[in-house]
Chains A and B, each alone.
Chain A
Amino acid sequence: MIYKIWMSIVKEFLLLKRDLGGLIILFIMPLVLVITVTLIQDSTFKTVSDSKIPILLVDNDKGNVSKTVFDNLEKSNLFSVVTKIDNKTITEDIARENVYKGKFQLAIVIPKDLSSDLQAKVDQNVEKIVSSLGLTDSTTVSDKRVIKEKEVKLYFDPAVQMSFKNAVMSSIDKMISQIETKSIYTTFQNQLGGTSDFEQKSFISFKEIIPKINNKEVRPNSVQHNVPAWTLFAIFFIVIPLSINIVKEKSQGTFVRLRTNPVSNLVVIIGKTITYSIICMIQFYMMVAVAVFLFPSIGLPSLNIEGHLALMSIVALFSGFAAIGFGILLGTIASTQEQSAPFGATSVIILAAIGGIWVPVFAMPKIMQIIAKSSPMNWGLDAFYDVLLRNVSFLEIIPKISLLFLFFILTTSIALFYDKKKRAV
């Protein structure tokens, strides 16, 4: 039996060696995928000058508030502020037209008299409070105007994603709040004679406590997140060449010949499983090598695998088993390559989507979070994150790799059972 398995492995490798398209799918595409996606996702969060997003600022205020907004936006390093187009000052209409046509992603319109009205409103409020406390001689407010609330308008390109919108709105909201607070403090200080020493720095600050490994802080970067996710995605793409391989055996007649040989289908399946597991591991090590050695030379952080490679290899192997089981099942059930290839590709994308490869599971709706738990890609991804980011031991990943192995056993058993039933014509 071992000799037959060995010869099956040799045969599978020979078939793969002569299938250029299959080799590209197996080895080149995953590398292109992991490099491209990591580059794109990394640059999204990068604060380098060449990746600044140009935004339009319509300044109808011409006061302190608009100047502060302008300065803060420029300082943020995320945006470059555009106030003129073709040397003409931008109006709200021009801004709206440019944004809605997709030429710019965002326009901020600062209303007229925002600075003066904000100051007047703050003055009124502070005067009221100070006089009610009996700290001044006057008991009346000097400016009795009714000051209406002001509105800073934001125009977004309709093609802009919701996450970007929310992030921008939140940072502008924070900026405006800071301006208001500062204005209140300054007015109080002036009302009280300018002698009081107001501390205007925020009292509450945030500090991220970063996990430590060997007393060294390990700060996760985009590569630590992306490489496991996309490596897993690539490993699962083995479903396509594997299912095509099985369908081809059926259509070429070699499968029928094997059925007349003194060899069980299990031997054939074991041969394929070992071959494609080796392929999965080669894919995995190639992607890790690229992430460790190539990424720094293209401006990406290097993947930190210090002390993790052995456990990561175990997770990759078991993820490979799950993918192989799925490929065997698909290849057994499909009658033609036209069925197996598109179904394989689509189902891998669906498994990736519900598994949290693109959108984190915690950010999904409740029902999708439950469904996500049924995706083998979710088990694999979670196990990779456990190893790489949460620094867990082998014992703690056993439940997840067991699920991956059970998935392999289940899908392979269904394939063997289906094949046996189909043979009983």
Chain B
Amino acid sequence: MQSIIQIESLSKKYKDADQYSLNNVSLNINEGQIFGLLGPNGAGKTTLISMLCGLVKPTSGHFTIDGLSYAGQSSKIKKIIGVVPQEYALYPTLTARENLHYFGSMYGIKGSDLKDKVIETLDLLGLLKFADKQVHTFSGGMKRRVNLIAGILHKPKVLFLDEPTVGVDVQSKNAIIDYLKVLNESGTTIIYTSHHLAEAEDFCSNIAILDRGRIFIQGTPSTLINSTEDARNLEDVFISLTGKDLRDDI
């Protein structure tokens, strides 16, 4: 498979920080993969995803997405990526439909094409009958699903998801995961962070475990489990690599 994201020696040190949040990370993500970035709090997952989404500038190193670099090709990259942030990045007083029309239009989707895509995706994620309700009246799970739709209306080539199922009920979680699998089958590469290790084990085709700004291990879930002594699942691999110490971070 062809590599769609190539990361070379990427590092990030924030102003006034003592340590690197990301330290000399190199990684290749192939087209069509569902790639899980896992790690404890402060491991560097959000920093890495933020850099790949163009929100944070690297201190050193570089990366390309589909052969494109943010230096000079920022708008081209933004057209082929989709981002689903961890917080509900929606206008609470707008309806689901109004939110999606607005964010879809920012990708240049217009007219009946936009309307049809919004209806189709709302329907797929079980939200069509709530399309004209204001988002602030929605449950956490419903907001998560609208949040997801806002990032995928333009059928991105690469989709970044930061904790897409945090704080939702099982039904919403299943609906989101099922839809993401359909999306992946249609050709979208997915890069995903989560603390739900069982979910990641089931969902991801490849996984990298980060800690203290470095990638500790990378491979398919089964490879990682098999290569770790006494590991029965991904959680055992995770604990054996990152330890049991609390990782409170501010």
Contacts and interface: CB of A to CB of B under 8 A. Distances in A.
A253 B87 CA distance: 7
B80 to A, nearest CB: 9
Given A18-B134, A253-B89, A424-B57, 19 more contacts: A3-B105, A3-B110, A7-B101, A11-B91, A11-B94, A14-B93, A15-B91, A19-B93, A252-B88, A252-B91, A253-B87, A257-B150, A258-B106, A260-B55, A260-B83, A261-B78, A261-B103, A262-B107, A425-B56
A46 interface: no
Interface string A167-188: 0000000000000000000000
A282 interface: no
B108 interface: yes
Interface string A241-283: 0000000000011101111111100000000000000000000
Interface in A367-425: 423-425
B98 interface: yes
Contacts of A260: 53-55, 78, 81, 83
A213 B121 CA distance: 65
Contacts of B94: 11, 14-15, 18
A252 B56 contact: no
Most chain B beta-carbon contacts within 10 A, residue among A15, A253, A260, A425: A260
Interface of B: 14-15, 53-57, 75, 78-79, 81, 83, 85, 87-94, 98, 101-103, 105-108, 110, 134, 150-151
Contacts of B106: 4, 7, 258, 261-263
A18 B78 contact: no
Interface of A: 3-4, 7-8, 10-11, 14-15, 18-19, 252-254, 256-263, 423-425
Given A425-B56, A425-B57, A252 B110 contact: no
Contacts of A15: 91, 93-94
Contacts of A253: 85, 87-90
Given A424-B57, A425-B14, A425-B15, A261 B89 contact: no
Contacts of B101: 7
Contacts of B108: 3-4, 262
Contacts of A7: 101-102, 105-106
24 contacts: A4-B105, A4-B108, A7-B101, A7-B102, A7-B105, A11-B98, A14-B98, A15-B91, A15-B94, A18-B94, A18-B134, A19-B93, A252-B88, A253-B89, A256-B85, A257-B89, A257-B150, A259-B55, A260-B53, A260-B81, A261-B103, A262-B78, A262-B79, A262-B106
Nearest to A424: B57
A253 B188 CA distance: 24
A404 to B, nearest CB: 31
Which are the 6 A-B pairs with shortest beta-carbon distances?
A: A253-B89, A7-B105, A257-B89, A262-B78, A260-B83, A18-B93
Most chain B beta-carbon contacts within 10 A, residue among A3, A8, A11, A19: A11
Contacts of A254: 89-91
A252 B81 CA distance: 21
Most chain A beta-carbon contacts within 10 A, residue among B56, B57, B93: B93
Contacts of B105: 3-4, 7
B104 to A, nearest CB: 9
A418 to B, nearest CB: 16
A133 B103 CA distance: 101
A261 B103 CA distance: 8
A261 B107 contact: yes
B83 A257 contact: yes
A423 B51 CA distance: 11
Contacts of B85: 253, 256-257
Contacts of B90: 252-254
A252 B14 contact: no
A11 B102 CA distance: 7
A256 B110 CA distance: 22
A288 to B, nearest CB: 30
Contacts of A425: 14-15, 56-57
Contacts of A252: 87-92
B42 to A, nearest CB: 17
A262 B75 contact: yes
Contacts of A424: 57
A8 B110 CA distance: 13
Contacts of B151: 257
Contacts of A258: 106
A3 B15 CA distance: 38
B111 to A, nearest CB: 9
